[in-house]
Chain A
Amino acid sequence: MFKKLIEESTGKSPWLFHINAGSCNGCDIELVSVLTPRYDAERLGFKLAGTPRHADIVVVTGPVTQQSLNRVLRTIEQVPEPRCIVTMGSCPQSGNVFRGSYAIAGPLSKYVHVDVDVAGCTPKPEAVIDGLVKATEILREKRRAMK
């Protein structure tokens, strides 16, 4: 029963940690707007955490530049299990307009398993919320799989 309770709670309280991997700030602004009164993701329990240790979902924006690659991977590794990785915007998925640049190490999925991709440049807040909710489902699954 206790396990069930934890599992339910995991689905209702996903805390986000946001990593900017060389983003143009467009996605960053949109992610914040998700938490504003208009869209209010907090009604689903979403909350921005200050450190990866508190986070459940890591939201990566930006095309993962060479400079930021190690930092992104390091931070993702510091998130306790169960965790989900969400890429936001087209950059971390494909490199977007920066694709092929010598400064780009992306896409992110080359290095870690990405759970949810929210495409768009930038994605609409509705899309972001939808992606996050999907990530929450995955989170719950992961928690169920844990012993």
Chain B
Amino acid sequence: MILMNYIAAFFLIVLGLYTIVTKYNLVKTVIGLSIMDYGVNLLIVTIGFNPGGTAPIFTFSELNPSSFFVDPIPQALTLTSIVIGACVTAMSLALVMKIYEQYGTMDTREVRRLRG
């Protein structure tokens, strides 16, 4: 089952990149970024997953060599990563709005005053 997760993570990352590269709409580019981010988040969670493990909530007295739990660090990382992803999305959407105001278009092929 866990293999499915890895495949899905890989698929999501590639899908995100594909969207960024081929779609000529600014909003779709932002969506691509988000999809890529979700893919990585899925990857992180999957890496920390132990089949059959419990939630990693222990006090020191409960903790013994036989306690079996999923790795807590990737979960913490995922939370951070999700927050950062949300920030990036918010920021890029703000930029997209401003760009639409200035350029009057959402087409990336026309947002190219800086080139050469």
Consider the complex of A and B and state whether they touch directly, i.e. have CB atoms less than 8 Å apart.
no
Binding site for A on B (CB under 8 A): none
Q: List residues of A whose CB falls within 8 A of some B CB.
A: none
